[in-house]
């Protein structure tokens, strides 16, 4: 799979507003390299990355995209230097504090995918607060994957279903794809039609493994802190040129 050329995708036309993906997922990658190129600490890249997330969430709302899912911190990211982990957690805290005040007005609903029990009690409380406010908001839903891993999500779902079977509440034959989906962090959220990974890396890194079954992928060289509304347009324009067959044949 090669990388897509943002400039060419943009030159190729405009976003067709009648055929927008309902759900876009993004691996916000390249913060560290962006900072290094400027002689800055990696944490500076994450700070700009958090700003870019704010802008892109607002842009999704403006376009009419219903769901935006971003990979903020994986189950493996705890291996990073402590100051980097602290910075990312600090940025999330800051974002949630701001969101508590502004999400109703901005119409951005928040949901967190991942194991929140490993977070500080303060962050867990903020997650609960933003979840509670989100229930009353109509607008774009931003899902932030935090201490998230795709395999971990599937394992937890399997375990929860198995426990219900062991307790006699469920039977194995009841398990369909749709039923299994209800045990995932993404329960109730349609699968992403478009998954974007900037920064030149062409892999999924344990992101939305169940949900990506029929997603279209868009990989580009842009580093996440340089990602803009134009880059998102380019990805959507490219997506709109794809022939999605879902295992069928072309009509
Ligand atoms: C990947 O880039 C990025 C992360 C692991 C962290 C992403 C987190 C944020 C943008 C802050 C989250 C805040 C909000 C408000 C959602 P990398 O560090 O792996 O970059 P590299 O590959 O260039 O080293």
Q: Ligand 1 pocket: which of 32, 76, 95, 201 to mutate (most atoms <8 Å of CB)?
A: 32
Q: Ligand 1 pocket: which of 27, 30, 31, 70 to mutate (most atoms <8 Å of CB)?
A: 31
pTM of the model: 0.95
Atom index in ligand 1 nearest the CA of residue 95 equals: 15
pLDDT in tens, 192-208: 999 999 999 999 999 99
The CA distance from 49 to 226, in Å, is: 8
For the annotated catalytic residues, the residue numbers are 29, 77
Domains and CATH numbers, the chain: 3-9+23-240 (3.40.1180.10)
pLDDT in tens, 162-196: 999 999 999 999 999 999 999 999 999 999 999 99
């Amino acid at each position: 799979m090669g990388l897509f050329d943002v400039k060419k995708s943009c030159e190729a036309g405009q976003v067709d507003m009648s055929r927008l993906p309902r759900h876009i997922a993004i691996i916000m990658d390249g913060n560290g390299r962006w900072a290094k190129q400027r002689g800055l600490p990696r944490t500076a890249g994450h700070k700009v990355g958090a700003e870019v997330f704010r802008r892109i969430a607002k842009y999704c709302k403006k376009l009419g995209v219903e769901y935006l899912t971003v990979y903020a911190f994986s189950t493996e990211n705890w291996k990073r230097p402590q100051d980097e982990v602290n910075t990312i957690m600090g940025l999330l805290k800051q974002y949630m504090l701001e969101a508590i005040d502004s999400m109703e007005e901005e119409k951005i609903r928040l949901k967190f995918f991942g194991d929140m029990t490993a977070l500080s009690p303060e962050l867990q409380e903020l997650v609960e607060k933003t979840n509670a406010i989100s229930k009353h908001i109509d607008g774009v839903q931003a899902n932030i994957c935090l201490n998230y891993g795709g395999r971990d999500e599937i394992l937890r779902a399997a375990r929860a279903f198995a426990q219900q079977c062991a307790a006699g509440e469920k039977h194995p034959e009841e398990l369909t794809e749709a039923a299994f989906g209800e045990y995932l962090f993404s329960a109730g959220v349609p699968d992403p039609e478009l998954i974007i990974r900037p920064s030149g890396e062409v892999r999924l890194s344990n992101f939305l493994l169940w949900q990506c079954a029929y997603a279209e992928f868009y990989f580009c060289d842009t580093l996440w802190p340089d990602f803009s509304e134009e880059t998102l347009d380019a990805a959507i324009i490219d997506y709109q040129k794809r022939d999605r067959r879902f295992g069928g044949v072309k009509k």
